[in-house]
Structure 1
Amino acid sequence: MALFYMHGTPIGYVAILLALVASMGGFIFGYDTGQISDILLMNDFKLRFATCGTPNNVDTCEFSTVRAGLIVSLLSIGTLVGALCGAPTADFFGRRYAMVIECVLFIVGVIIQIVTVGVWQQIAVGRFVSGLAVGALSAAVPMYQAETAPTRIRGTLTATYQLFITFGILVAYCISIATRNMSGAGSWRTVVGVGIIWPVILGVGILFMPESPRWLAAHGRYEEARHSLARSHGIARDDEKTNAFLLAKVEDIRSNVEYEQHLKAGWIDCFRPANKTLYRTLLGMSLQSLQQLTGANYFFYYGATIFTSVGIEDSFVTQIILGAVNFVCTFGGLYVMQRFGRRMPLIVGGIWQSMWLFVFAAAGTAKVPQENPGIGKLMIVSACMFILGYAMTWAPGVWILIGETFPTRTRAKQGALSTASNWLWNFLLAFFTPFIVGAIEFRYGFVFAACNLLGAVVVYLFLYESSDLSLESVDHMYNDPQCKPWTSRSWAPEGYSSRYDLVQQTKAADAHKPLVEGPDESRLEKASQSMDGTGSSTPQESIRA
């Protein structure tokens, strides 16, 4: 039975579970991101892996800029490679089994790190191996969630990936502050070793979830695709062959898959101008790059070091405050992306984030924070306000868009290219930030402020509003020559007068009420016949439910 109805669309408990379980991939990424900032300050870690002027005297131990940059950033190089490998892996093995393989790989990376005694290169290599898994998961998880989640709550469920990233960062901060005073290597090995728990949860839990119905349909397994949709919508197995809503959904996917099977889907096809494929590839890569250029990871990777430099005595506590703001505000992001769509939150978020980064940079540049406690406090408040805006807009929004912007035939590859660009900038920022901060100090914030404004402009000029549409309808919207990004909020599939009409007509249809206008009911009969092998349709003829 359906757990609840959203605009008349049945939503099953499995849809909620699959989003939560798959989002453990985001938790893994967040935990690995959050731990390194505090580990770099732990005494035993510095004694083992930093350069010490006097043996066994932690006060003389410091990481060189290059060494610190490599330890932090090699994770990002791994994620860059992993994201590109994640597409063929997810296409070949299926979304679920690809995640299982990637979880095993992450565990291998953790083991490499915790068995080292005093070789910093082994820590870096272990983070690289873990990064391979994190990158592949970052491509597979949002794609799996978008392909499996019911249309009406797709934005919210896909955004749980970002929610779990923030949760992972917060948990890493909390565990770090709990272990920092442990004697010997236990202080940092505990933080790293606990990371094994999360891939175990994901690798086992995902096996109990349904496979992506679109992946199943692309491999000719329509009966399984129908069952997968039925589970996510809470439709009883006995009703699968007669439920009009379910038959229409499967027919929609079938017609789209059959249409796309006539088209090639290699890597080169991601860069073909036809059907706005190149347009969407470049848009996805730009949005993922700009998400990194917001400056969020400037605080997450080097936050402890930053707040030490502004005179904060216990930077670990400040990190927890930032992590808590990030996590709590992401709940607001789930609502914002569901209620206000994709475009407006990203535009407003870009402007908001730019304002507070300007305050942060101006305050740190105007006076020396260590000599002016009030300036240090203003900088912390500015950082928190920036994180508030980021967590509610750009953080969840970009991951949602990566799952729902691309056509089925190239979705995995375009998603991989987009996330790879995210990880490329992640690496560049992680590695070069120590050098840049050493040269321009807090004026670095002005660079990120400008990038946030650029992001708002890119969204306004190029991003189409994809909320409330099926993935197949999103593809048609991008190919409609009459639709422009700034008018896309009112676009609706053929047969509907507006996006609002689409929602209302779908609600009426799902409630088995007579339709005043919208899709012809004969389509439902055609969908039923097609499932029995007696009919067929094209994407333009199928229902955009």
Structure 2
Amino acid sequence: MPLFHMHGAPIGSTAIMLALVASMGGFIFGYDTGQISDILLMQDFKLRFATCSDYSNASTCEFTVVREGLIVALLSIGTLCGALLGAPTADRIGRRYAMVSECFLFCIGVIIQITSMHVWQQFAVGRLISGLAVGGLSAAVPMYQAETAPTQIRGTLTATYQLFITLGILVAYCISIGARELSGASSWRLVVGIGLIWPAMLSFGILFMPESPRWLCAHNRPKEAEVSIARAYGIDRSDESAMRVVREEVKGIMSQIEFERAVRAGWLDCFRPQHKTLYRTLLGMSLQSFQQLTGANYFFYYGASIFQSVGIQDSFITQIILGAVNFVCTFGGLYIMERYGRRKPLIIGGIWQSLWLFVFASAGTAKDPSTNPGIGKLMIVSACMFILGFSTTWAPGIWILIGETFPTRTRAKQGSLSTASNWLWNFLIAFFTPFIVKAIGFRYGFVFAACNLAGATVVYFFLYESSDLSLESVDIMYNDPNCKPWTSSSWAPPGFSSRGDLIEQTKAAESQKPLAAVTGDVEKPRGDNETATNSSPTTSVAGTHNEKA
């Protein structure tokens, strides 16, 4: 039985569970990201891996900027490679088994880390291997969620990946503040070792979830695809009328797959200017790069060190405050992205984040925060307000857009290129931040403030509004010469007067025919130049997976 109905379409409990279970992949990444900031300050970790003038006194131990940068940043190099390999792996062995194998690889990386004795390179290599797994999960999880979740809640369920990243960061901060009181290597080994629990949960849970119906159809397993779709929508398989609709949907998916095989694209096709393919490749890579250049990971990777330098006696507490703000506000981000679209939140978020980074950098530059408590408190407030803006706009918004922006034939490869750009900048920021901070101190905030303004500018001039449109309609919009990014919010497919008209007619049609097969443009693929005649955007059970190429 359906758990509830959204705009008249059934939503099964399995659809919610598969999104939550798969999002543990995001939790794994968040936990690995959040733990390193506090571990770098733990006394036993510094005694083992830093350079000390007196190895009996941790206060004499300091990491060189190269060593600190590599320990933090090698995770990102692994994620960069893993993101490029993740999609082919998921295509070969299936979305679920790809996640299981990547969880196993992550556990190997954790074991290498916790068995490190005095060789910091071993710990760094362990993070590199864990990063390979995290990168693979970052490709497999959103793909699985987008292909299996109902369209009516696709954006929200896909964004749970980002929500679980923030939860993982917060949990890492909370565990670290308790573990720091432990003696010896138990302090940091416990924090790292607990990371074995999360991949075990994902590996076990995902095996009880249905495989992606699109992957099953691609491997000539239509009967299993029928079961997968029925479970996602809470349809009783003994209900023959409902199952007829499911079988029609499977036929549509099979037809779409045959179409894709006929027009299968290579990597070079991502850089061809026809049909704005190159335009969208560069746009996706730019948006993912700017998500890193907002400066969020400046606080997540080095937050404990930052707040220690502004005179905060217990920087671990400050980290928890930042993590809590990040997690709680991400719930608001899920609502904002569904309610206000993509463009406006990203533009406003970029400006908001820039403003508070200017305050943060100006305060830290004007006076020494370590000797001026008022300045230190202002910097903490500024950081929290920045995180509030980031977690409600750029954090969830970019991941949603990566699943919506690209055309069918090159979507997987363009998504991989965009995600790889994210991890590349993640590495560059993680590695070079110690060097830059040593040279310019808190003026580093001005760099990120300028990047936020640049990101908002790119969104205004180049990003089209894709909310409330089917994936095929998004492709038509990008190729409409009369549509500009700044006018795209009101664009609608042929046959509709406006975006609002499209939404109202979609809701009305879905409430009247919640299980009816669509007969418009979603059901069968067309070439880029064909016109959407009879283009009802109604996305019922029969059209949901068909548009998720």
TM-score computed with the length of structure 1 as normaliser: 0.92
Greater shift, 203-212 or 112-121, is seen at 203-212
**Cross-structure match for 2:102:** 102
Greater shift, 202-211 or 443-452, is seen at 202-211
Q: Is the 8 A contact 1:149 1:232 kept in 2?
A: yes
Q: Is the 8 A contact 1:85 1:136 kept in 2?
A: yes
**Cross-structure match for 1:229:** 229
Is the counterpart of residue 47 in structure 1 residue 47 in structure 2?
yes
Shift of 1:349: 0.5
**Corresponding residue SS for 1:183:** coil
**Corresponding residue SS for 1:371:** coil
**Cross-structure match for 2:68:** 68
Shift of 1:454: 0.8
C-alpha change, 1:240 and 1:280, in structure 2 (3 Å) is farther
Q: Is the 8 A contact 2:259 2:525 kept in 1?
A: no
Partners of 2:536 and 2:244 in 1: CA distance: 11
Is the counterpart of residue 177 in structure 1 residue 177 in structure 2?
yes
Shift of 1:249: 5.1
Structure 1 counterpart of 2:345, one-letter code: P
**Cross-structure match for 1:486:** 486
**Cross-structure match for 1:523:** 519
Cα shift readout 1:183-226 (whole Å, capped 9, x = no counterpart): 11100000000001111111121122222233334444444444
**Cross-structure match for 1:453:** 453
**Cross-structure match for 1:318:** 318
Partners of 2:373 and 2:19 in 1: CA distance: 43
Structure 2 counterpart of 1:36, one-letter code: I
**Cross-structure match for 1:532:** none
**Cross-structure match for 2:464:** 464
C-alpha change, 1:186 and 1:57, in structure 2 (3 Å) is same
Q: Is the 8 A contact 1:81 1:420 kept in 2?
A: yes
Partners of 2:17 and 2:103 in 1: CA distance: 18
**Corresponding residue SS for 2:262:** coil
**Corresponding residue SS for 1:211:** coil
Partners of 1:86 and 1:138 in 2: CA distance: 8
Gapped regions of structure 1 (runs ≥ 5) = 528-535
Pairs within 5 Å for 1:12-411 = 12-239=12-239, 242=242, 246=246, 250=250, 253-411=253-411
Structure 1 stretches of at least 4 aligned residues deviating more than 6 Å after TM superposition: none
Cα shift readout 1:375-410 (whole Å, capped 9, x = no counterpart): 000000000000000000000111111122223333
Partners of 2:117 and 2:536 in 1: CA distance: 61
Partners of 1:166 and 1:292 in 2: CA distance: 15
Q: Is the 8 A contact 1:29 1:134 kept in 2?
A: yes
**Corresponding residue SS for 2:390:** helix
Shift of 1:271: 1.8
Structural RMSD (CA) = 2.3
Partners of 1:216 and 1:362 in 2: CA distance: 55
Cα shift readout 1:21-78 (whole Å, capped 9, x = no counterpart): 1110110000000000000000110111111101222121111111000000000111
**Cross-structure match for 1:530:** none
Q: Is the 8 A contact 2:270 2:278 kept in 1?
A: yes
TM-score computed with the length of structure 2 as normaliser: 0.92
Structure 2 counterpart of 1:65, one-letter code: V
Structure 2 counterpart of 1:21, one-letter code: V
Shift of 1:246: 4.8
Partners of 2:149 and 2:502 in 1: CA distance: 18
**Corresponding residue SS for 1:41:** coil
Gapped regions of structure 2 (runs ≥ 5) = 540-549
Partners of 2:169 and 2:16 in 1: CA distance: 22
Partners of 1:463 and 1:239 in 2: CA distance: 43
Structure 1 counterpart of 2:83, one-letter code: A
Partners of 1:482 and 1:37 in 2: CA distance: 49
Q: Is the 8 A contact 1:257 1:408 kept in 2?
A: no
C-alpha change, 1:113 and 1:476, in structure 2 (3 Å) is same
Partners of 1:219 and 1:163 in 2: CA distance: 32
Cα shift readout 1:452-481 (whole Å, capped 9, x = no counterpart): 011111111111222222333323332333
Partners of 2:238 and 2:501 in 1: CA distance: 31
Structure 1 counterpart of 2:292, one-letter code: Q
**Corresponding residue SS for 1:289:** helix
Structure 2 counterpart of 1:184, one-letter code: G
Q: Is the 8 A contact 1:48 1:118 kept in 2?
A: yes
Q: Is the 8 A contact 2:8 2:513 kept in 1?
A: no
Q: Is the 8 A contact 1:284 1:402 kept in 2?
A: yes
C-alpha change, 1:180 and 1:268, in structure 2 (3 Å) is same
Partners of 1:497 and 1:148 in 2: CA distance: 31
